[in-house]
Amino acid sequence: MKKRTLGKSNLEVSAIGLGCMGMSFGFGPPRDVKEMTEVLRAAVEKGVTFFDTAEVYGPYINEELVGEALEPFKGKVAIATKFGFYKRPEDEGRWGGLNSRPEHIKAVADASLKRLRVDSIDLFYQHRVDPDVPIEEVAGAVKELIEAGKVKHFGLSEASAETIRKAHAVQPVTALQSEYSLWYRRPEAQILPTLEELGIGFVPYSPLGRGFLTGKIDETTKFDATDIRNMLPRFASEARKANQTVIELLNRIAERYEATPAQVALAWLLAQKPWIVPIPGTTKLHRLEENIEAANLELRQEDLDEIQNAADKLNIQGERYPEQMEKMSYR
């Protein structure tokens, strides 16, 4: 597996990481722990050194899964996790609003360290920007955690360019994690230029459009009742039907390389900047192998140009999130 460095930091990771959320949360019931442990350890054996989790995935069970599965590889892999939400006692303990108060950040770090079975968190992201806490205070709290040796690198997620700059001035930001793929390209306008200027790495989540860019989802696909895609406008049946045009584009390019649509989608992301590290998620070994192989797919410039030109003309149907969820982004 090829390696990449996130921005100007010294955090070197595999060119493709593994998003672990779906193993425990979001896309149906939690998967079998033994099977997911096998997938996680197979990823390491195949060269993946970058794993992404969060306390809210479950909650807690995803961090616990990742911590136990990767404990034998302590020091050989980088695990990223996140802070920034809180549980609502008045709502039967469900995860509610945002909380990035410094004391809460520090408490989350201590709890995550135990669940992940590590001495220091490799990359600690603010999961979403908290409008009630100045980002300078958030960055200051993480700076103290870094000085204490509990955290190695500071990250942000779905933050605006202005917020990134303010945070970076207090504690250098190693990476931004935001959604980015051929069917969600908003980061290209302001975020990517800001990251390049400041020397910050970029970690696209949902680089395969929550599975859509694999080409295996159409308007007839049925999701589990607990699958978050049921509530996403872009996954409404009529939107899925209209958005097959992006799959047609990926298929056209994939045929030239004897590759899959997913591999082309990931290779396209890797070709955008040398400091981009996508984190596709999967619960299946064969999908893991397919995604990893994308790191070896180098698209020719003429094919990248064709993808760019075609993508610019695509009219992707449906918002990526419901309005309330979208409001939590780009603050």
A 10 A CB-CB count for 179 gives 20
Distance, CA of 42 to CA of 3 (rounded, Å):
18
Q: Find the mean pLDDT for residues 105-131.
A: 97
Q: What pLDDT digit, counting tens, does each position of 128-180 carry?
A: 999 999 999 999 999 999 999 999 999 999 999 999 999 999 999 999 999 99
pLDDT for residue 87: 60
Distance, CA of 151 to CA of 122 (rounded, Å):
6
Q: 244 CB contacts (<8 Å, ≥6 apart)? A: 218
**Is pLDDT above 80 for 91?**
no
57 as an active site residue: the answer is: yes
What is the rounded average pLDDT for all residues in the chain?
A: 96
Q: 57, 125, 180, 205: which one is catalytic?
A: 57
**Is pLDDT above 50 for 4?**
yes
Reported confidence tier of residue 95, pLDDT bands at 50, 70, 90: low
DSSP secondary structure of 128-170: S--TTS-HHHHHHHHHHHHHTTSBS-EEEES--HHHHHHHHHH
Q: Find the mean pLDDT for residues 61-87.
A: 95
Pick from 62, 80, 59: which is nearest to 20 by CA? 62
Contact 244, 183 (CB under 8 A): no
CATH superfamily of 3-210+272-298: NADP-dependent oxidoreductase domain (3.20.20.100)
Give the helix, strand, coil percentages of the chain, each rounded to 5.
45, 15, 35
Contact 150, 158 (CB under 8 A): no
Domain ranges of the chain: 3-210+272-298
**Is pLDDT above 50 for 93?**
no
pLDDT for residue 179: 98
Distance, CA of 95 to CA of 90 (rounded, Å):
11
